[in-house]
A = this chain, B = another copy of it.
Amino acid sequence: MPTKRQETTAHVHSPAIEDYLEQIHNLIEAKGYARVVDIAKNLRISQASVTNMIQRLDAEGYVIYERYRGVIMTDAGRKIGQEIARRHEVLTRLLASFGLDPQTVHEDVEGMEHHISRQTLEVLTLLMEELEGNPELLMKLKRQLG
């Protein structure tokens, strides 16, 4: 893997970090708080790994963490969490509109969501909106999918 060389300037974050922040963001949206055990369950990794990463997220300024007490997000963390959630939603709606099986959609979205620039997100949003507002076109394309 051509690992992105660490930019000295604006700090770049890994897919893993994005996954955690997206998850924490979603949990806080949904239940008002984010527990280690739930993050671990949703990401399907061990609780120990979550604790570990949360400490890193705190050190890097994405969350504020107090031992045994849970996390809250900083503005920086929330921003990233929201961005990823947005990419997730657009991709999911776009693919789902073609009737792909939900499991496949989920897997592809999980994989792709970390790699989409602002510009590409705009393109995909546009495509999604066009298809949602133009059922004729969508039907035509779906017919071609066989």
Interface of A toward B, CB cutoff 8 Å? 1-2, 14-16, 19, 43-45, 95, 98, 100-101, 104-105, 107-108, 110-112, 114-117, 119-120, 122-123, 126-127, 130, 137, 141, 144-145
A107–B45 CA distance with the chains assembled, in angstroms: 28
The SS class assigned to the A binding surface is helix
Query: B127 and A145: CB pair below 8 A?
Result: no
Other 5 A-B pairs with CB < 8 A, given A2-B44, A112-B115, A126-B144? A100-B120, A101-B119, A107-B117, A108-B116, A111-B114
Q: A1-B15, A19-B1 are in contact. Are A120 and B141 (CB under 8 A)?
A: no
Whether A108 pairs with B127 at a CB distance below 8 angstroms is no
Q: Bound state CA distance, A127 and B137, in angstroms? A: 10
**Chain B residues within an 8 Å CB radius of A144:** 126
Closest B residue to A121 using CB positions:
B108
Beta-carbon contact of B141 and A127 below 8 Å:
yes
* Most chain B CB within a 10 A radius of its CB, from A14, A16, A95, A123: A123
Q: Bound state CA distance, A5 and B19, in angstroms?
A: 17
Output the least CB separation between A6 and chain B (Å).
14
